[in-house]
Structures are given as structure tokens and as C-alpha cells.
Structure 1
Amino acid sequence: MMDECLCAFDKMVKKGFLPDVKNCNSILKMLRNRKLVDKAREFDDRMGEFGIKPTIVTNNTLLDSFCKQGNVLMALDLLLEMQTKGYTPNEVSAYTFNLLLRGYYVKGMLFEAPGIEDEMVECLKLGRSFMKCWKRIWHQIFSYNTLIYGYCKLGKLREAFHLLGELRLKNLCPTIVTYNTLIDGLCRSGELDDARKLKDGMNNKGIIPDVVTYTALVNGACKAGDLSLVKQFFDEMLDKGLVPVRYAYITRIVGELRVGETSRAFSLQEEMLARGFPPDLITYNLFVDGLYHVTYTSIIHAYLENGQLRKAREIFYEMLSKRLSPLVVTYTALIHAHACHGRLELSLMYLSEMQEKRVLPNVITYNVIINGLCSLGKMNRAYDFFTEMEAKGIAPNKYSYTILINENWNIGNWQEALRLYRQMLDKEVQPDSCTQCIAEAT
């Protein structure tokens, strides 16, 4: 397709039909999008040979091509060339300088960007007016990033995203730092779906997610207790050729230990060692802390299994006194045992407590509560928790549906049982044989 366009261009010129600058800019953009930088530069030279005067769009397209490949020197050469051709800072615009800023990031020189003024003026003899424009834009972006970081730190994500909107309205391009700060803020606030969408949107803007991006996502998935998502982000990072930092490994290890997967945690430690990250004091402390959690949870679970609820609570409070944060498994075991013994108010108290401590309930936790409420005939409250679970992004499984279907069947509400069964199938949740029998009988 691209070769055909260039051939068509040559034929037009040979026949005496000179393309206008808009057509040439379109071809340049196609070359840029296909990362054919050398051909783009060659085509720009040919435009000059045929007397086609480049516009600011032409130069920005070329500059963008160079910067996306991290070829800052060629970009600076072009900027110098633009100055010698009489372009003023107002004509160059904020967008041009932002392209150059992105080139510095791609080259791994982002933090050198604010201090390059003197070096650039000396080496490339760029006009002071250009450099003032460059420095002003850099400081604007730096200021916005600082404010966005501050709002994210305070959990004020609405204000942070408002600033992102302002940044774009001023025709300033958000940097990788901007995106990483927002993604981290979303992950820390439990807005994992929005964080994923923002990560996906980065690629469309020509900003490639880096190790910092993925580490924030791994941390967010770990906090949400979604180990499958933790693994997905971690594997995606490896697939892109990014080398996980020590913190990314530690975050994964913490996640595995929190759900009692000690063997997987030790396996990750070995992988960490193989990648050149020898275990340090923090890693060892995490393992000790994680194993303490697992041990306490196992003891609590054993007492609950034997019906010794009071003793289990004593161990639980001992765990708290030692400043060990209970796991989702710990809370779910307590909720289940108290619900089974008809002490649903205590179960709900533990659920409320775990949410206050930012220990996120999982589908098993909700199923236990829903089952307990159904057993007491409190169907409306059971549906409230079913809805809450979905609203929090926790997909109901076959047990969630089976509990409600069975209870509706028992009280003669067959139409509702059938509705739930159909919803279950629509969401591709496979029913068990018992649920199928109920549906067929209905």
C-alpha cells in the first residue's frame, strides 16, 4: 500500500501534476505511522526538490517520526532548520515542543529535559525565544504532574483527572509520568478496571507502558486479591521484554502469601534469585510475616471446624494484637463459621470490619453471606449483597446463582428461579446437575 502511494506520487510528478502540500502531509503521516523514518525524511527532501513548501504540519509529522524512535538529535536538527527558515515560537506551538519532550523520554532522558537549555543553546545555537518556549512548556507539564501526584496521593482522583483534562485542553501532551501516576492512584483506590482502561489508552496515544506501569497494576491486583490478574499483568510485562523490578516480585510474593500459596511464593523467590535479585532483609521479613499469617489462619480455621468459635475469636484477637493483618481467608472462615451457627450479625460485623481494614471480600465471602441470609429467609438482603458483589466487579460464580435459585425454588418462586438460571447461562456460568434439574422441572 505504501509503495503504491509513493509510485503514484512519482507518476503524478512525471506527468506534470504537482501534488499539493496536504497530499504530501498525508503520505508523510502514513510513513510515520509505519515507522518508515528514513523514507519519511527522503520524501521530505523530494518535496523540497519539487518546490512544495512544508507547513508546520509537515515539520511536526517529521519531528514526531524522529521522536517516536528516540532520535532526539535529528529532531533537534529539524527544530534548528525550522528556526533558520523563519518560524517563530508562536508558529512552532506547544505541540512541537511536546513532541520533542516525548523524544527525550523515549531516549530515556526525561529527567535531563529541564536542564538542557544551556547545552542546546551552546551546541545547536538555538534562539533564546525557542528555548524560553521549550522551558515554559516543560515547567507547565512538570507542574501538572506534580499536582496530579499530590491529588492521587490524597485519593482525590476526580481532581487529578480534571487536571489531565486541563493539560489536554492546553494542547500539552501527558507524559509517561502523568499516566503512571494516575494508574497508581486508581490502583490504590481499588479502581482496577479504570486503571486497565487507562493503560490500554496509553498505547493509542503513542506512550508505551513501562515497568512502573505494570508494577502499579500488579500491586493493584494484589490489593484486590485477584491473583489471576496479578499473574496476567506480570506475564504481560515479561512478554513485552520488560524486566520486573524487585518491588514487582515482592508484591507478587505478598499476594501469594496472603492467600496461603506458600509453595508458589517460594517458587517466585527462586525466580527472583535467577533474575539477579538476591533476597534481602525485606524479602525474608515478608516470608516470616506471611508464614505467621498462614499459621494463625490455619489455627483459627481448625478451631472453627471443631465448633470452638470463642477460642477461634481469641486467636483472631491475638493475631490483631501482634499487628498481623488478617487475610481474606481468615475473615471468610470466621464469617462462614458464625453464619453456620446462626450468628449472622457477627458474620456481618466481620464483613464490615474487613472492608474497613481494606481487606477486599471475594466471591466466596459473598456466597457465605448470601447463603446465611437465605437460610434465615432474608431474601431481600441476600439480593442486596448479590448486587453489591456485581457492582464491585466480583463476578458471581455457579454457587452464587445456585444458592439463590435453590431458595427461590424452596419458597415456590419458580419464575425467579428460572430467570436466575437464564441469567446464569447468559453470563456463561456453567450450572451444576442439581441446578439443571431444578430448571428443567420449572
Structure 2
Amino acid sequence: MLFTPSIRAYRTLRTTSPKLRLFLHCHLSIPHSDSSLETLICESLSSDPLKLEPIVSDRQLFLRALRSIRARPVIVVRFFRWAEAHPRFDRAGSAAAFVAVLEILATSGFVGPARSLVDRALSLGLHGVVDLLFERRGAVSEPALKLLLDLVLYVYGKNSMTRRSLSTFYKMVYNGVAPDVKYCNWFLRNLRDEGLSDMASAVYEAMVHHGIGPSIITYNTMLDLYCKEGELWRALDLLSEMQNNGVFPSSITYNVLINGLSKSGKLGIAEALIEEMSDRGLEVSAVTYNPIIYGCFSRGDFDKARGLVDEMLRRGVSLTLWTYNMCIYWLCKKGRVAEAMRWLSDMMKRDLMPDIVSYNSLIYGYCRVGNVEEALRLFNGLEFLRLEPNIVTFNTVMDGLCRVGDLEGARKLKDKMVWFGVQPDVKTYTTLVSGSSKAGDLETAKGFFDEMLGKGLKPDPIAYTALICGEMRIGMAHEAFRLREEMILMGLHPNLVTYNVLIDGLYKVGSLEKVYLLLQKMVKEGFVPDNVTYTCIIHAHSERGFLREAREVFNEMVSMGVFPSIVTYTVLIHAHARKGKIDGVLFYFSEMVEKGLVPNEITYNAVIYGLCRAEQITKAYELFTEMQEKGLSPNKYTYTFLIDANCNMGNWKEAIWMYAQMVDQGIEPDPCTQGILFKRLGEDCMIQAAQYLDEEVLGDSDCLPEDNLGSEDLIEIEQSSAS
């Protein structure tokens, strides 16, 4: 039944504008009963929606209208969409309208539209719908209420609105509404990804306490969380708990655990889990093996890593691109580039195409061993392989060029990368600054540094430290400290390397008092001197011949629990050798070997130098042989020390023999070596002697030492030269 307008209202309609007359007519014509409202909405929504405008602007009337059509959920959705788009829609009270529609959809089983509407409400910031749903608890069925709250939890989880998810979860469980486990899993994953482990653990415990049975996804998520946090004991306890609760681990469960154990160095337990997987009939894949192989490479056990790869192949597990890239990278990092290239070939034989990561590793490997020419060949070949170099590629090649002192090539490469559309980053400029500084070209280093600032890039501590190192190298300590202050003003705190550079530089210019002041400041700022710090100080004392002071610093270093490095021992050995203190040389050499440190070429040279000075040439030859047996190649210094010792002892034939061996090994003797060999000759006949040696002696080196140049020949050369 329709309202009949009063006489006054009718007269008002006649005297107002057409639009207002239409509005008043519609408003005064709104029916009383729900059935009449239903009829009006159903008949007018498609044909004449203007009749429904008064309903939209009246909050209570709108809610009445929605309830009147609750038996027609499709009409409800259409009517609500039309109303929400209307300019007169009461947005201030729209949360209640959303809840009314949601109740109708949930009760009717329209889950999809309800989910979309929840998403719409929350995207509008209508988070009050959660509390409104609880307020309507008596008016709506429990299943419908649970469904809607689950949908809210789902939408919050899907959109990573973690705090809202937590709030809704706790409101639900404290009000006796148990969320569906699959929606709990959504925001558990979010908590894990955001590193909120304590909150995730609390949610898990609340789930168990309120009777929400964890699923395999719940357990896997929590296992992954515990492994990432390094709480392996909790992960292993949870593995037992899930099995006790009748949830059996999947391949994902084991892979998560193996990954966590491998990253924590528990490779033995990780390998045991592979066998357990196999016994349970679960699929063992490259995802299972890769973390353990990576762990073996990380600890330097390359043979074990290779053995695991072979085991994969025996089990019929296919190697992935990631497996190959990992092996290639670690081999290149170790300098075993030829072996890495064999892996690349094997990879292609198995129809796996190398990507830019593969080639970046190989380029890095060649640069690392100093073969920049081969690195450039690979780099230039990327175009033919249809692989685009990225910032890592360019920076790696640039670092290689800088290491061999090719600054011009590095500069051209920077221009080339811009042409490729790859913008130089902080790493690029830091490499150029560091390379220029090491080459002694401080002006170019400063130019690159200023260019970096001009492009709005913030220098990192490495760039500043490179400049500081350059300034200290030329004795400009005040400029180095100015850069340090500038670094601090830029919000970059000097690191231990920066302090070590400053300490080393100050020692070299003889500012010992400033060194100890800087050491105090360094310790005050929370830095603990490392073996580089101590070695710098030991080296400074050693260079001045202060062996007692050097030994005192060494003893302090050991007492502080700082483990001396090969460099530390080599510095001490060389210092004692220079002073002729052969007992000190042998003491420190023996001690470093006992501590498991492997001497390098420089260490052996220092010991051989000391032995030669002490005329213990037999022992020197023993070490000469030993270093070659250990795969170390003698260099020009090694040979020169032995030649000098033989000359001093009058062993001319042996000295010439060593000289010939040196040349046979492809080592070019320098004027120093020749000067030592001919030091008993007059200066004016050295050139003639060297020429004789090259043409007559080395031309028939196979006959040495029996048939060639002896002391009488040298005397003859000297006499003929004098005449």
C-alpha cells in the first residue's frame, strides 16, 4: 500500500522544481511493508532505479530494504553494487550495510561473492566489520559468522596485513570461534616471512590450545621458521610432535629441515635425513641435495661435494641449473677455473643451457686467477649466446681490469655499460676508486669518487677506505683523517679495515703516538683489533728492526685470542732473517706449521733467505725441494737467494747451475740476480760476463754443471776485459 500525500504536500509538489518534485514524490511513495519494498526493488532496479534513490540516502531504510530481499541474494548483490556507486550512498554507515549484505550471502552459501565483498570492505578501510559481526552474533547463525570471520582472516592474510590478521585471530579464538586452519596458515607464513618468530610461535600455541589441528602446511611453515631462526632443536622436536599427532612428513618437510641443517653446518644429520626420506619412499630431488652440496663447498670440502653430486646421479636425480651454477661458482672462487669449464661442458651435454649466472662465475674465476684476457673473451662472447650482461657481469670484469692495472680499459667498460643500458652503481664506482688508488693514481680515484657523488650515489665504506689508503700511501695523513671525518658525517662509520689502513699508514710515517691514540679510539668504538691490525703493528716494528717490540705485540696478539695468520708469521720470519737471527726464523716457521698454517711461496722465500744468510745452504735446499713437492713454484727471489749463497761460499758451478735452472723455468733474471752472480767481477766487465753466460753457457745448459763456466773462466773474462 502506498502513502497518499497530504493536501499541503501535494501543493508543495506543484510549486517546486521538477527534480525536487520527483524526489519528494518518490520519498513519499516508499512502501511500509518488507514485501512492498521487495516488489519495488525487484521491479525498479533494472527499469527505473530513480525510484530507489530515497532508500539509498536513508541508513535505516536501506538496511530494511536489504533485509526485505534477503531471500534473493543475487538481487541483493546487484542492488548493493548500484547503491554503493550512487552519490547519495551513506558511506559513513556503510560498514553496517556491508555486514548486512555479507550475512545474507553467507547464510545463502554464496562464498565467492562474500569473499569479494569482504575484500572490497577491507580495501575501503572498513575494519570495523569484524566487531560488527561479533555484535550481530545472536542474529546470525554460527556457521555463517565463522565463515565470514574466516574470510576476513583470509583476506588479511592474502594482502599481508599481518597485524590485522593477528587481531582478528585472537578475537575469534577468545570469543569461541575457531578459525579454519588453512586461513591460519596464510598469516603464519606472513609472520615467518617478516621474521616475527615469537608472534608465529604464540599463534601456533594458541591454535593447539584452542583445538585448531595443525595441518602439514602448518608444520612445514613452523619448521621453516625455526630453521631460519637457527632453532634446530625446536624444529626436530616439532618433527617428532607432528608424527605423534598422526601427520606424516612430506618431501617438503624433509627438504625444509635439510636446508636448515645444512645452513647451520649440521651436514651429517642432513645426510641421514636423505636416507630416512628414501626409506619412507619419498621423492629425493635436487632441492634435497643442493643445500648439503653448498654446505660442503662452504667448508672447503670439494671432494665431498663432488661425491654427493655423483650420488645424485646414481639415484637418478637430475642436476638442475642451480646445482651446476653452484659448483661452477665455488670452483671459480677457489681458482679451479679449468675444472669449472668442464662442468660447463657437462651441463650443456645434459641439455641445460648456462645462464648469465654461469658466465658471471666463470668471468669472476678468470679474473681471480689474473687471466683477464680469457675473462674478456667470455664477456665479449655473451652477445653471440644471446645473454645480456648485467651489473654483476660489468662490475666483475671491471674489477679484473683494475686488478691488473688496466684503468683505461676499466674506464671504457664503464662507458660501455651505460651504452648497454646498465647504470653504474656504488659497487662500480667503488671498484674504480679502489683500482685507481691501488695503482697510485689518486687524482683519477678522486675523479671517480666525485662522479659518484654527482650521480646521487652514496659512497660505501670501501670507497672511502680506498681513498684513505691512497692518501696514507703518499704520506698525507691529515687528508686521510679528513676523509674519515667526512665519512662519519655521511652516516658511514669506519670499519675495522678503515682503522687498519690508518694504523698501517701512521706507522709508515712514524707517528707511533697517533697510532696508539687511534687504537684506543678504535677499541672505544667497539672494534676488537684483528690479526690484520696486529700484523700491521708487528710489520712496522719489524721494518725498523725492533724485533723485541715486534715479539711483544705478537705475544699480546696471542694472549688476546687473536689467531696469527700466514702473513703475521711471514713478517716475523722475514724480520728475523734480515737480522741474521736464524733461531727466530726456524722457531716461527715451525710454530706456524704446528698450528696448521700452510706456508706459501713468500714464507718459504723468507726462510730460505734466512738460511742462506746463515750459510745453512743444505737446509735451504731441503726447503727448496719441499716447497716444490707441495705444489709451490720457486720464483726469481728463491733462485737469487740460493745463487747468492753459493757465490758467497765459492760454489761457482752450483751458482751457474741454479741460474740455468731459473731460465729453464721461464723466470727472467733481472740485473739484481746477475749482479749477485758477478759481484766478484769488476763493474766494467759485468756486461761481457752476462753476454758470455747467455750465449755460451745457457746455450748448452744440459751439460751443466760439469763442462761449463767455472771460476777460471770468470778470471779469464776479467783479465781480458782489463787488457
Q: Name the TM tier (shorter chain).
A: 0.3 to 0.5
Q: Which has the larger radius of gyration?
A: 2
